[in-house]
Amino acid sequence: MQITPTDMRDAYLVGAGQSDYGAFPEESYRSLFRTAFEAATDSVPNGLEPSDIDEAFVGNLGVGGRQLGLSGPAVTEHVGLGGVPCTRVENACAASGFATRQAVQAVKSGMADVVLAGGFEIMSDMSSDATKYWLGVSGETEWERLSGTTFSGVYAQMASVHMETYGTTREQLSRVAVKNHSNGAKNPHAQLGFECSLEDAQSAPVVADPLNLYHCCPTSDGAACALIVSEDVVDEYTDDPIRVAGVGAGSDNVGLFQRDSYTGVPASQRAAETAYEMAGVEPDDLDFAEVHDCFAIAELLAYEDLGFCEKGEAGQLIESGETEIGGSLPVNTSGGLKSKGHPIGATGAGQVVEAFKQLSGKAGERQVENPTRGLTHNVGGSGGASVIHIFENETEVST
């Protein structure tokens, strides 16, 4: 018998927190995770003790090879969760997005009432060549990485085809950077927390034509955590519940060259369809979104893959200003990967942190006005995996 969502318990997001993102030579992966974990537990309105946690899922790629085996228990034990079952999730850049999905599944299935989902990465302690190698392991190894293709090169191919097919321009790519830096400048956790002009974003050095430096996210150290609980215990932790309304995931060929199209991410399209159906909503029902903008073209592809606009119209959407704070659908209010940073294993959980802050009204200068629903979108590699969550403030929905 196939279990449908109506047969399962509801899951709720009651807390979330992160470390700063950046380069922190004085920190370890354990200390960064502790910072995120303590921020998450401190954010729970009615309090949550580590002893309440039944299970944990931790996302990590393992850049540089540090503690590849049992890296999940290595960090959960460090924060006082010794003995709590912990599973490390590795799905490239979507690792902690999928860790969050696993936490939701554990709660919905009845296996646990309180689950920690988190992620971490240290990326700043290697040479640029070594970093490129570790980033490359998330692409197709034999025909992409070992032939010399980098991730910027892969996304440059996607950008080139989108530009040729739909008339997308370099200026439109640069507007993604300008918007996200404007948002990141309001985020105290952001690695590149400064504004940039359109001229800055257009005149930066080329990395992989047509992408330049301002079209690419940085490499980052950081950690993030989220706390998911069941409907049976949610009232113990908050009087303002944030429900996990929809979850969707998809996978695809790891290599870009193996796919039928370079102008979309089918895994994201499938994940979005599933998440919208489960939540019973459409893109127009969203009040904000955090999307995976590892490169500027990735955000534009997300607009189309997630139904924010029609195919080929992403360039016009970024130009319209509707995805800015104050627009009809603010995207990447945190600053996104571009400005906030991209510690691979932490990125998906970090998006959930922003969703929690927005729906709790605690996003500070970047707060969206009275949001009810938000979406997070986390992609692995160039689209080999994708996971989407839709969160809704249950109090706002019922009013």
Q: What is the 3-state secondary structure (H, E, C) of 41-101?
A: HHHCCCCCCHHHCCEEEEECCCHHHCCCCCHHHHHHHHCCCCCCCEEEECECECHHHHHHH
Return the pLDDT at 1: 31
Q: Is residue 6 pLDDT above 70, yes or no?
A: no
User: Which pLDDT band holds residue 28 (cuts at 50, 70, 90)?
Assistant: very high
SS3 123: coil
pLDDT at 5: 55
What mean pLDDT comes out for the span 22-34? Answer: 96
Residue 3's pLDDT band (cuts 50, 70, 90): very low
Give the type of residue at 259: R
Backbone φ and ψ for 54, nearest 5 degrees, come out as -90, -30
Active site residues: 93, 342
Confidence label for 135 from pLDDT (cuts 50, 70 and 90): confident
- In angstroms, the CA 58 to CA 2 distance is 27
| Rounded average pLDDT over 177-198 | 98
Which residues are paired to 228 by β-bridges? 13, 115
Residue 105's H or E segment, with its range, is helix 95-109
* Of residues 324, 312, 45, 349, the one with CA closest to residue 183: 324
pLDDT in tens, 265-286: 999 999 999 999 999 999 999 9
Specify the pLDDT at position 387: 98
Residue 15 has pLDDT above 50, yes or no: yes
Percent of the chain with pLDDT over 90: 86
Confidence of residue 394 (pLDDT cuts 50, 70, 90): confident
- Average pLDDT for residues 327-331, to the nearest whole number? 98
Average pLDDT over residues 39-47: 98
- Residue 89, pLDDT score: 97
Mean pLDDT, the chain, rounded, equals: 94
CA distance 335 to 237: 29
Which of the pair, 177 or 397, is modelled with greater confidence?
Answer: 177
Around Cβ 204, how many Cβ atoms within 10 Å? Answer: 17
Q: What average pLDDT does this structure show over 315-334? A: 98
**pLDDT tens-digit series, residues 172-186:** 999 999 999 999 999
Instruction: Record the tokens describing residue 367, joined without a space.
Output: 């707060």
| CA–CA dist 390, 273 (Å, integer) | 12
* Alpha carbons 230 and 208: distance in angstroms, whole number: 46
Q: Which two tokens stand for residue 107?
A: 């709660």
What would the two tokens of residue 361 be?
Answer: 């009204």
Top pLDDT among 314 and 399 is at: 314
Backbone angles phi, psi at 155, to 5 degrees: -70, -25
90-124 pLDDT per residue, tens: 999 999 999 999 999 999 999 999 999 999 999 99
> According to the model, what pLDDT value does residue 345 have?
96
Averaged pLDDT, 9-18 = 98
List, in order of start, the domains of the chain with CATH numbers. 11-126+218-391 (3.40.47.10)
Q: Retrieve residue 285's tokens.
A: 């029902």
Q: What is the identity of the amino acid at 45?
A: P
Q: What is the DSSP string of 344-393?
A: GGGHHHHHHHHHHHHHHT--GGGPPSS--EEEEEEEETTTTEEEEEEEEE
Using one digit for the tens of pLDDT, what is the confidence trace for 350-386? 999 999 999 999 999 999 999 999 999 999 999 999 9
pLDDT at 399: 60
* pLDDT per position as a tens digit, 228-274: 999 999 999 999 999 999 999 999 999 888 999 999 999 999 999 99
